[in-house]
Amino acid sequence: MSETPSSHHIAFYRGAKRIAEPPPHHNNAIGHFDCYWRSLNARLERFPSRKDLDPLVMGAMILPWMLIVELREDEEGVFFYYRLCGTEMATLVGHDVTGRTSREVVNDKSLKVVVEPYLFTLKEEIPSFWETSVYHELYHWRPAVRGVWPLSSGGENIDMFVNLTVPVLGRKGSHT
């Protein structure tokens, strides 16, 4: 695909291939957060909430890549509100999406790729892992690995997610 996205205000993704577990990675932020989330889930015997996440425990390996995303619904349907966007995530997609919605920042062509991991995690009530590609105007298409974990403000119903999307170093974007 030779498409070159043109708006620096919109996130562009392509290709979402589900993978069974987080792969080994250059900084392994996804693997570390997965272990942390699973330990919280087991200890609390429920889905963790945003308030259960301890930034000091997660540390500098995880926090820069983190998105905290709220599931919202209105008369137009379901959408996502980006409560927090880590600095490396903002660099990866070309801008900080904190305080914005999926309707504002996700390109229509990318919508399925962006939304599918959240909807899968919501339906299956388990973390999910994905290979994808993300576009940045300086780096063009970059392959990335994405993890999505459910959160719940009340412990039972999923109403929020943690998303880590980390580029795979040394490979050109190839997922179409």
Is residue 149 one of the residues assigned to a domain? yes
CATH code of the domain in which 60 resides: 3.30.450.20
CA contacts within 13 A on the Cβ side of 66: 22
How do residues 112-125 score in pLDDT, each as one tens digit?
778 899 999 999 99
Confidence category of residue 133, pLDDT binned at 50, 70, 90 = confident
d(CA 139, CA 159): 33
Is residue 174 one of the residues assigned to a domain? no
Is residue 129 one of the residues assigned to a domain? yes
Is residue 8 one of the residues assigned to a domain? no
Instruction: Quote the domain boundaries for residue 66.
Output: 13-167
Is residue 173 one of the residues assigned to a domain? no
The CA-based angle 113-155-102, given to 5 degrees, is 25
Which of 8-12, 21-25, 80-84, 161-165 shows the lowest mean pLDDT across its residues? 8-12
- Burial of 129 (C-beta count, 10 Å sphere; 0-12/13-18/19+): buried
Is residue 68 one of the residues assigned to a domain? yes
Instruction: Decide if pLDDT at 175 tops 60.
Output: no
Is residue 3 one of the residues assigned to a domain? no
Total domains, the chain: 1
Q: Answer for the pair 111, 13: CB distance below 8 angstroms, yes or no.
A: no
CA distances from 100 to 26, 82, 169 (A): 29, 6, 28
